Amino acid sequence: MKAVRMVEPGKPLELQEIPIPSAGEEGVLVRVRAAGICHSDAHYRAGQSSMGMIPITLGHEVAGEVEWIGSKVTNVKAGERVCLHYNLSCGECYYCKSGNEQFCTTVKMIGHHIDGGYAEYIAVPARNAIPLPDEIPFEEGATLMCASATAFHALRRGRVKDGETVAVFGVGGLGLSAIQLAKALGAIDVYAVDIKSDKLELASEYGAIPINASRMDAVEEIRRLTKGRGVDVALEMIGLQATMKQTIDSLGILGRAVIVGLSQTPLEIHPYQTLIGYEAEIIGSNDHLLEELPLLIEMARQKTLDTSRVVSQKILLDAGKINQRLDDLEAYTDDVRAVIVQQG
Ligand SMILES: [Zn+2]
Ligand SMILES: [Zn+2]
């Protein structure tokens, strides 16, 4: 089969002809129909993350059709449409058993530690294949598996409840999902903070109250709009020290700040003014859980979460085109969300 693979860190991906992978008795072989090109893939290609093997097929946002099932598989059938949870966990270790499988001591991520979806076929354990309803196109199902799932987990970490207020810092793929999902979870007002007016316009179309941080102090504006109270939950989706500070500063009494954006820069806080005086919480959110995906998919099927505007470009399984998209992501030249699609 054809697979577009990372052969050497820092070099363009290459198209290779490799054997179709085999799935065991508890596994499934999936014919890939869509594979999202994610910002993480640009980091992997650049050699900024240690990979489980080299060469490796990238691609962790995958949807397709079940081609073959192992003899012990009961959750999906051959021919069924599925999307794939990208973390393969053991199900046996302390973290798996306590419901936190993203911390599995032997977790393997597809397209990072083992071969991913920039290929014609992929083999995964059957439990990682989740039925994808006909109403959701493959390419939208694929992108649900990364940004939307991460946004959903972050809101669950923030324990968003009915009638609460939420601020979302950063209106990219994560932020747009977070805005819609916060509303679905019962948030009464969702504030969207960004510096780009076109993104804020999109956020307002999804019911958020836009705050343009290039024109005003976002924290002051949130305080003003919440009559001085601050928000119950604030999500940081960017990974900058300044926006993390704003996220925390926009909290009200008993507020929860959920940090999702990655950063290596230390963050300074004032223990009394920031935490103790407010009984506030700063919460880290890492990845998502398999158990969260069926509900997320159902919300997409019911259009509570609109995924129709996520994918802006479809490309073929072509090394040149994929490398070009990764170059663009690396250069931050635009926010085009590209997905590799393969027809049946
Ligand atoms: Zn991704
Ligand atoms: Zn485990």
User: From ligand 1's centre to the CA of 289, what distance in Å?
Assistant: 14
User: From ligand 1's centre to the CA of 36, what distance in Å?
Assistant: 7
User: From ligand 2's centre to the CA of 291, what distance in Å?
Assistant: 15
**Parallel, antiparallel or unpaired: strands 281-284 and 251-259:** parallel
Contact by Cβ (8 Å): 40, 59: no
Q: Closest ligand to 142 CA?
A: 1
Dist CA 296 CA 252 (whole Å): 28
Question: What dihedral angle (degrees, nearest 10) is formed by the CA atoms of 332, 337, 343, 344?
Answer: 120
Q: Closest ligand to 95 CA?
A: 2
132-148: per-residue pLDDT in tens? 999 999 999 999 999 99
Phi/psi of residue 253, nearest 5 degrees: -55, 135
For the entire predicted model, the pTM comes to: 0.94
The three state secondary structure string of 40-98 is HHHHHHCCCCCCCCCCEECCCEEEEEEEEECCCCCCCCCCCEEEECCEECCCCCHHHHC
pLDDT score at 262: 86
Q: Closest ligand to 151 CA?
A: 1
Question: What dihedral angle (degrees, nearest 10) is formed by the CA atoms of 197, 199, 200, 205?
Answer: 130
Contact by Cβ (8 Å): 180, 306: yes
- Vertex 262: Cα angle to 261 and 263 (nearest 5): 120
Containing H/E element for 121?
strand 121-125
User: From ligand 1's centre to the CA of 324, what distance in Å?
Assistant: 17
pLDDT score at 335: 67
Give all strands of the β-sheet with 2-6 in edge-to-edge order.
14-17, 2-6, 56-57
Per-residue pLDDT tens digits of the chain, which is 344 residues long: 999 999 999 999 999 999 999 999 999 999 999 999 998 999 999 999 999 999 999 999 999 999 999 999 999 999 999 999 999 999 999 999 998 999 999 999 999 999 999 999 999 999 999 999 999 999 999 999 999 999 999 999 999 999 999 999 999 889 999 999 999 999 999 999 999 999 999 999 999 999 999 999 999 999 999 999 999 999 999 999 999 999 999 999 999 999 999 888 899 999 999 999 999 999 999 999 999 999 999 999 999 999 998 898 999 999 999 999 999 988 876 567 899 999 87
Residues with CB under 5 A from ligand 1 (ion): 38, 146
DSSP H helices, the chain, are 39-45, 94-97, 138-143, 149-157, 173-184, 197-205, 218-225, 241-249, 293-301, 319-331
233-292: per-residue pLDDT in tens? 999 999 999 999 999 999 999 999 999 998 888 999 999 999 999 999 999 999 999 999
User: From ligand 2's centre to the CA of 105, what distance in Å?
Assistant: 5
User: From ligand 2's centre to the CA of 107, what distance in Å?
Assistant: 6
Q: Tell me the one-letter amino acid at 10.
A: G
Instruction: List the one residue out of 189, 150, 185, 191 whose CA is nearest residue 169.
Output: 191
User: From ligand 2's centre to the CA of 89, what distance in Å?
Assistant: 5
Which residues make beta-bridge pairs with 340?
Answer: 35, 315
User: From ligand 1's centre to the CA of 154, what distance in Å?
Assistant: 15
Tokens for 224, please give them. 């003003």
User: From ligand 1's centre to the CA of 299, what distance in Å?
Assistant: 19
pLDDT score at 221: 98
